[in-house]
Amino acid sequence: MKKISPSILSADFTTLAAELEAIESAKADYVHIDVMDGHFVPNITIGPFIVDAVRRATSLPLDVHLMIEDPEKYVEDFAKAGSDIITVHAESTKHLHRLIQQIKELGVRAGVSLNPSTPIETIEDVIEELDLVLIMSVNPGFSGQSFIPSALKKIKKARKMIDSSLSRAELEVDGGIKVGNIKAASDAGADVFVAGSAVFGSDDYAKTISAMKAEIA
């Protein structure tokens, strides 16, 4: 079953518990949490403190996307805060293999994300260690950007790489996903779809999520 992971970056934080309840009853599969530090990306967002609050407000798995420098210093805090999946950027570390092991030793599923300009070959030698591969279809930093079409080619390559290895990784796409383009990303081979503005900017979350699921069924 393909999954929808709404990004709370576009949620109303004055009523975060209600927003989480709303996506849970709208049949979201994960909660995507965008962590930005103002260094790896030009924006500052959420830390472990908020992840811990989200953990207490929903039973959905927490899909935590770290867009930070020195991720090895912080993965333990995010694991303790209740993350189910921790995804790090390949561009943010010199020792990706070691960092993946560190995340798994914390009892959390490990993901790796690639910026639009980073080739898929970057993760070829760690693919079997991964629980999730995240292809960025925008440059990370902000919600509400447009889908970069070349991401489709990279999703296809990632699909092939996963299927021709012993990897059980889910293939996730993040950035500019909406009802009108989700099918193309799904046909390219993605399993999990992050959607921020398309879900939280809509009037009816359940209607939007079910329209997305109908496109990828």
**Least distance between ligand DX5 and beta carbon 182 (Å):** 11
Nearest approach, Cβ of 68 to ligand DX5 (angstroms)? 12
Number of chain residues interacting with ligand DX5 (CB under 6 A): 21
Task: List the catalytic residue out of 29, 34, 63, 191.
Answer: 34
Q: How far is CA 71 from CA 31, 37, 199, in A?
A: 20, 10, 28
For residues 87 and 186, which CB has a smaller minimum distance to Zn ion in the complex?
Answer: 87
Asked about 174 being catalytic, the answer comes back as: yes
89 is a contact residue toward Zn ion (CB under 5 A): no
Closest CB to ligand DX5 among 96 and 173? 173
Q: Taking CB under 6 A as the rule, does residue 111 contact ligand DX5?
A: no
Our finding on whether 29 is near ligand DX5 (CB under 6 A) is no
Question: Which residues here bind ligand DX5, judged by CB under 6 A?
Answer: 7, 9-10, 32, 34, 65, 138, 140-141, 143-145, 174-177, 194-198
Question: Which residues here bind Zn ion, judged by CB under 5 A?
Answer: 34, 65, 174
